[in-house]
Amino acid sequence: MTTAAPAKRLFVLSFGCQMNVYDGELMASAFRRAGYEAAKEPADADVILVNTCAVREHAEEKVFSHLGELRRHKQRGALLGVTGCMAERMGKEIARRAPYVDLVAGARSFGDILDLAAAARDGLGPVISVGHDRPPPARDVSVRTDPYRAYVAVSRGCDHHCTFCIVPATRGREKGRPMAELVDEVRALVADGVVEVTLLGQNIDSYGKDRPEGEDLHHLLRACHDVPGLKRLRFVTSHPADMAEELFDDMATLPRLCGALHIPPQSGSNAVLKRMARGYTRERYLEIVREFRRHCPEGEVAADFIVGFPGETEEDFEGSLSLVREVLFQQSFVFRYSPRPGTPSAERFEDDVPEAAKAARNLRLLKAQEAVATAKHAAMVGRTYEVLVEGRSKKDPDVLMGRTRGNFIVHFRGGPDLAGHLVDVRITGHSPVTLRGEIRG
Ligand code: SF4
């Protein structure tokens, strides 16, 4: 009697943005179709993929230390691959610095990841695939990291050329996916238990510009919103230069569309915004936020900021600080400028803000945001909010964790069977980062 060979297993370690996590799920989908199962840790895997980010030098250097650590799994025959934006940017250089790596497949070039892995397995390594705009593998909706929430990438790449950004180089020109395909993916996710979908784009507002008439963010939101069984819809990431007025009307009139925008200002100084080639001014940014809040008075805005961009003066930085205090962001992600080879700013501008000044500005902006968040949280005490229960809190298994429509994190007592459900929670307390509450009714 022949016993079936144990299924091969894949481990994907993804770094960076949601788009990279999504790509990790696409690669895992391809391996799933080839009979692979997901390994819980590298030690159990036959194929290990390190899915990388290239946004900061520090992130890239960390990958080499991970590779050095993962190298030992090759002794038992595991295949070690590097994918994602750093792979696309560095290509052969990764194989030169880590000659034990079997496969390098970039963020634009992993469409045939299975064939590339097979070629590497046949000892034709290292196999390097970069610079090809191959369509990614089809998604298997059951391959995802969260049972109730999922991302759907509406496009790949970006046509903006923000001077600090490596994405256009590593992910290429913007290419929108057919709207019908996107709605089908949402339907399949909902059928598989998902209740909240986030539509994902490097610059989601320009979705549709390479699609036929009637395929744009406005129509896509309405089509996804009407998928039976979907409880919540979100979208990220917005670009102030491309936001359409009708978007706010959609946010005000589509009940399942959450009033939470992620609009990275990057800086509050017009001089810095100009050198970043962001395509809008501080004043225009504030106008957009006002318009959004006119339509959605309960609406929340999250931000990204870069501190220490070349030439950023103390006065420029004060512009970012005051923007935090004026807009009252729900959350701000703050990054120190890191010159990326291949970006316009690395070629044009000297990285002249000292590291110590970058670190200090990073801290000051986070402190300003913390003060805003604390005041916002305090104002929510006593009020009741709809919360999507995501599951048990990491810190206390007797406590549940979930998010409001505005993306505030709430902890409250309740049974684990509430996971995936919408509940009303009255806020009873808070910290600078989270809220505490009790379930109503
Ligand atoms: S909009 Fe700018 S920052 Fe965002 S991905 Fe495109 S180039 Fe990068």
Q: How far apart are CA 368 and CA 366, in angstroms?
A: 5
User: Using a 6 Å cutoff on CB, does residue 203 contact ligand 1?
Assistant: yes
User: Using a 6 Å cutoff on CB, does residue 162 contact ligand 1?
Assistant: yes
Q: What pLDDT does 59 receive? A: 86
User: Using a 6 Å cutoff on CB, does residue 165 contact ligand 1?
Assistant: yes
pLDDT band at 250 (very low <50, low <70, confident <90, very high): very high
Is residue 41 over pLDDT 60? yes
Residue closest by Cα to atom 5 of ligand 1: 202
Residue whose CB lies within 8 A of the most ligand 1 atoms, among 88, 170, 175, 203, for a mutation test: 203
Q: Which tokens belong to 166?
A: 């490596």
Residue closest by Cα to atom 8 of ligand 1: 165
Is residue 254 over pLDDT 80? yes
User: Using a 6 Å cutoff on CB, does residue 200 contact ligand 1?
Assistant: no
What phi-psi label fits residue 400: left (phi over 0), alpha (psi between -120 and 50 degrees) or beta? Answer: beta
Residue closest by Cα to atom 2 of ligand 1: 162
Least confident span in 1-5, 27-31, 179-183, 273-277? 1-5
Is residue 395 over pLDDT 90? no
Residue closest by Cα to atom 4 of ligand 1: 202
- At 127-164, the pLDDT tens digits run 999 998 889 999 999 999 899 999 999 999 999 999 99
> Ligand 1 centre and the CA of 158: distance in Å?
6
How does strand 155-156 pair with strand 149-153?
unpaired
> Ligand 1 centre and the CA of 205: distance in Å?
12
The mean pLDDT value for 403-413 works out to 97
- At 191-209, the pLDDT tens digits run 999 999 999 999 999 999 9
The position carrying tokens 């005051």 is 322
> Ligand 1 centre and the CA of 115: distance in Å?
31
User: Using a 6 Å cutoff on CB, does residue 54 contact ligand 1?
Assistant: no
Is residue 314 over pLDDT 70? yes
> Ligand 1 centre and the CA of 192: distance in Å?
32
Taking domain 149-379, whether its CATH number is 3.80.30.20 is answered by yes
Chain mean pLDDT for the chain = 95
> Ligand 1 centre and the CA of 161: distance in Å?
7
Going by C-alpha positions, the residue among 54, 48, 53 that lies closest to residue 28 is 48
Q: How far apart are CA 60 and CA 341, in angstroms?
A: 12
Q: What pLDDT does 247 receive? A: 96
User: Using a 6 Å cutoff on CB, does residue 202 contact ligand 1?
Assistant: yes
Q: What is the pTM of this model?
A: 0.95
Q: What pLDDT does 125 receive? A: 73
Is residue 302 over pLDDT 70? yes
The mean pLDDT value for 389-418 works out to 95
> Ligand 1 centre and the CA of 163: distance in Å?
9
**How many CA atoms are closer than 13 Å to the CA of 106, on its beta-carbon side?**
24
Q: How far apart are CA 63 and CA 27, in angstroms?
A: 19
Q: What pLDDT does 363 receive? A: 98
Q: What pLDDT does 56 receive? A: 82
Bridge partners for 235 per DSSP: 199
Give percent above pLDDT 70 in the chain: 99
pLDDT band at 58 (very low <50, low <70, confident <90, very high): confident
The mean pLDDT value for 329-340 works out to 96
Q: What pLDDT does 5 receive? A: 72
Q: Which tokens belong to 280?
A: 């809008």
Is residue 1 over pLDDT 70? no
CA distances from 421 to 145, 256, 403 (A): 18, 14, 11
Architecture of domain 381-439: Beta Barrel (2.40)
> Ligand 1 centre and the CA of 423: distance in Å?
36
The domain ranges of the chain are: 9-129, 149-379, 381-439
Per-state percent for the chain, helix, strand, coil, to nearest 5:
40, 20, 40
User: Using a 6 Å cutoff on CB, does residue 170 contact ligand 1?
Assistant: no
3-state secondary structure of 401: strand
Length of the chain: 441
Q: Nearest-5° angle of CA 321, CA 324, CA 327?
A: 145
User: Using a 6 Å cutoff on CB, does residue 158 contact ligand 1?
Assistant: yes
Q: How far apart are CA 407 and CA 331, in angstroms?
A: 9
Contact 166, 344 (CB under 8 A): no
What's at 389, amino acid-wise?
V
Ligand 1 atom nearest to 166, measured from its CA = 8
Q: What pLDDT does 309 receive? A: 98
Residue whose CB lies within 8 A of the most ligand 1 atoms, among 108, 161, 167, for a mutation test: 167
User: Using a 6 Å cutoff on CB, does residue 239 contact ligand 1?
Assistant: yes
3-state secondary structure of 270: helix
Q: Which residue has the higher pLDDT, 125 or 364?
A: 364
CATH topology of domain 9-129: Rossmann fold (3.40.50)
pLDDT band at 3 (very low <50, low <70, confident <90, very high): low
User: Using a 6 Å cutoff on CB, does residue 168 contact ligand 1?
Assistant: yes
